[in-house]
Every structure is written in structure tokens, then in C-alpha cells.
Amino acid sequence: MMEQSKHKQTLRRLVLTSLLLAIIVIGLGAYTRLTHAGLGCPDWPTCYGLLAVPETSLQIAVAEQAFPQSTVEPAKAWNEMIHRYFAGSLGLLIAAIAFFSIKLRVATRSSVRSPILLPLLILAIVILQAALGMWTVTLKLMPVVVLAHLLGGFTTLCLLFLLYLRLNAKGISAQGATLVDFQLKKYSRYALLGITILTAQIALGGWTSSNYAALSCVELPICQGNWLADLSFEQSFDLIPPKQESYEFGHLAHNERVTIHVSHRFGAIITGVFLAWLAIMVFLKARTHAIKNAAMVLLSLLVIQISLGVSNIWFSLPLKIAVAHNLVAACLMLSLITLAYRLRQNSKESLYE
């Protein structure tokens, strides 16, 4: 029992550390993308054949000879390599989580057994993420690969958070469950719908970023000029683009980028209205502080995220605000998962009444 408790405590600490590191990796990934450093290193996993970055005149000369198609820019290369260092560390931590999960599962003989499929799924996704990181470089920032890499990062974070919630589940008191079950049962399904809507909106944001369409509309509340006439959905969302030497700085025409940007804006309206409605309704009907607090956190983060989105356009995509927009999107998803988890836990507790 002592050994099992020790393994479980170690597992919790690893998951919490991985969670924090995953948020940092997402932030570094956004910073790398927004500073146009995605091709700062033309090879993978090394950088111009090095584990660090070529900085001396001799190293730069050798790098330029080995990669004549690339211009060595140490600042951009460091942005990319620091992202890789942190992502690699996260991968090792997740491998350790999978190892301790298996070890704890084997050692646990009680009816409540530790999660095993979820850690293995997270490990599989991280392996896929490594491949996507390689393809991001080798396919020269092809938008669909960049988008898949971004969504893979968000998926890793969300699954780690779900694992953390499961490892720390304490349940809701029976009295609380009786008070709120019949009023909140349907909102558990709405919360899951909200996760789907928010995921689609994050994907639209990633598509906007990977196609360099963030500044295709520079006015509020609508685009400049006759933007309705510019809308063209024919090629704006083609996943397989025409072959290019590089997709850095985008390959789509202006009207196609406007279409992507406008789609992201309309998606933001739909997402904002739905999540605001969900948070307010749950807050008004909930009787437990845990669920009320989760709803309020969701609403607060939603207001911050909308403000950051408006600021990106108003101030022409400043780096700090753009990175914060990515990070708050991740936190918004985690808060929605928390709300959905608590609502679902509430419904399960009520079954024993």
C-alpha cells in the first residue's frame, strides 16, 4: 500500500508538471509561429546539423554551405530550438507518466483502478506530434500540417488535464447532487457541445494563422471595403494546397485570406454567444460552489479572449497580445473541460440517490 501511494503521488506530480510544461510549449509554439521562426532551422531534429544553433562565423559558414537555400538567422533559429527543447522535455515526461501508470495499474488490486488507456493515448499523440513537428519543417510550413501540429498540442494539453482531474477526483456530496441534478443534467450535454464548438473555433484560428490571414481584415466590426464581394470559399479551405517551394508567409490570394478571417470572426461570435449563455445559465441554476466557480471562470476567460481578439485587430497583431490570445484559448478550453467534468460528475453522483 505504501508503494502504491508513492507511485500515485509521483504520477500526480508528473501530470501536474506536464500540464504546466504543455502550456509553456503552446505559448512557445505560438511565439515561434508569430516571429516567423518556423523555418529558423531547415532540418529536424537538429538545427543546421547541430544540437544548438550556429552562431560563430565558422559555424554559420558551414551551415550556409550545407543548406544553401536557407539564410542563417540565429535569433529565429533559437526561437525554434527552444521550442523543440521544451517539447522534447514534455515528451519525456509523458513517457514517464505512461510508465508509472502501467506500474501503478499492475500494483493496484482495489476495485478503483488507476487510468491506463488515457496515459497511453497521450503518449501516442505526443509521438504523432513529434512527426508533425518534423513535417512542419520538411514540408515548409504547409498550412494543414501547421494546423494539425497546433491541434495536437491543444489535444495533448486537454488530455493531460483530463487525466489530472481523474487522478484528483473527489466527487460531489450527495446533498449537493440532489439539489442540482434535475436542473443541471441537460447542461452537461450542452457543455460537451461547447467543447466541440470551441474546438472548431480554435481550428479556425489555427487555419487563419497558418495561412497568414490574421491581418486580412484591419477594421472593426467588419472588414474594410467591399468585403462581401471578396469572399471566396472555393479554395480558402482546401487542405491540400498547390505544391510550393515554401508556404512561409502564405500562398493564398487576398480574397481567400479575407474569407478565412471573416469565417474566424463569425465563428468567434457563435462561440462567444454559446459559451456566455452556457456559463450564465449554469451559474444561475447551480447550487454548489464548485460548479458556480467553474462557470464564472469560463465567463471571465471568455471576456478576456474576446478582448484579446479585438486587440489583435485594433493594434495590428502585436506579438504579446497574439501569444496571449493562443494561451487564453488553451485556458478557456481547460475551464470548459472543468465545467463539463463537474456537470458530468454531478449527474453520476445523482444516480446513487
Active site residues: 80
- CA 32, 35, 39, 40 dihedral sign is negative
- Going from the C-alpha of 172 to that of each of 134, 162, 209, the distances in angstroms are 44, 17, 41
* 47 three-state secondary structure: strand
For residue 335, which phi and psi values (nearest 5 degrees)? -70, -35
Q: Which cell is 123 given? A: 503518449
Q: What is the DSSP letter of 160?
A: H
Long-range own/partner contacts, residues 221-227 (CB < 8 A, 24 or more apart) = 223/258, 223/261, 223/262, 227/258, 227/262
Cβ–Cβ < 8 Å for 247, 240: no
Q: Which amino acid is at 316?
A: S
